[in-house]
Amino acid sequence: MANFGWAYINCNDATPGSGSFGPAYSLQFVTESDGGTSGSALLKYYTASYYSYDPSTIVLSGNLIVTGAISASTYHIEDIAIIDATGSTYFGDGQTDIHARTGSLEVYSDSALILKANALNGQTTIGGFQGTYKRVTSTPFTASVSQTVLGIDTANTNITICMPSASSAGAGAVMFIKDQTSRTSSRVYISGSTGTSQELIDSASYYTLSGTYPAINLYSDGKNWWIF
């Protein structure tokens, strides 16, 4: 007899003594009693559409234990109570992928809360915050929407920083700019203009930092930048 991994048998066509039993569409397994094959209504394979099932669908009504890997082009889970996983997990394979979830999210280090996104009140709680930092050593310098803190570290010369587009940054985006150089007569000019568009900082086309170690905090309303 040829070796095979599994067999699908339409049990409606099985005759007494054929050694194949079980309900229609059931996958066959070897029984311990007589070495024949039988099937269960809890494990079926449908070659054509059946009720809400698509063609070529295996339906298991029970638990599944896999000791190896599962590879699927689509992974859909319904009525989840608990997802338990150990080790690292990876989601997505491209920068345009979006991973959406409904409900709150909590991240802990042991029992200490690190991050909580509360879906009920819209608040996010964090144990500590670290924004991206960029050391500015040349002029003019064009800031990016991916940067949070700019530290100006240059010689005693005039510096121009061009803010990213407020519309590209989006409403609510923030940026912190600190002059890390003790200046005497030079200035730091922060421009709200980006390319051909004219965006403002507190209704002005640019803002000037002067003196010893000045700083400025800015936020976007989606159209212009504002000082806070």
- Residues whose CB falls within 8 Å of the CB of residue 221, separated by 6 or more in sequence, listed in order: 166, 171
Number of domains making up the chain: 2
Is 111 contained in some domain?
no
Helix (H, G, I), strand (E, B) or coil at 46: strand
Please say which residue of 58, 83, 100 terminates a domain: 100
Rounded Cα distance between 174 and 19, Å, is 73
Under DSSP, the state recorded for 19 is S
pLDDT at 162 over 90: yes
Whether 146 and 78 share a structural domain: no
Helix (H, G, I), strand (E, B) or coil at 29: strand
Q: Name the residue with tokens 């699927």.
A: 72
CA dist 207 to 159, 161, 175, 216, Å?
Answer: 12, 10, 14, 9
What is the pTM (predicted TM-score) of this model?
0.69
Q: What is the pLDDT of residues 57-107, one digit of tens each?
A: 999 999 999 999 888 888 787 777 777 888 898 888 899 999 998 899 999
Range(s) of the domain holding residue 138: 133-227
Peptide bond into 55 cis (omega under 30): no
Higher pLDDT among residues 102 and 227, named by residue: 227
Q: What is the pLDDT of residues 176-215, one digit of tens each?
A: 999 999 888 899 999 986 555 678 999 999 999 998 899 9
Is 147 contained in some domain?
yes
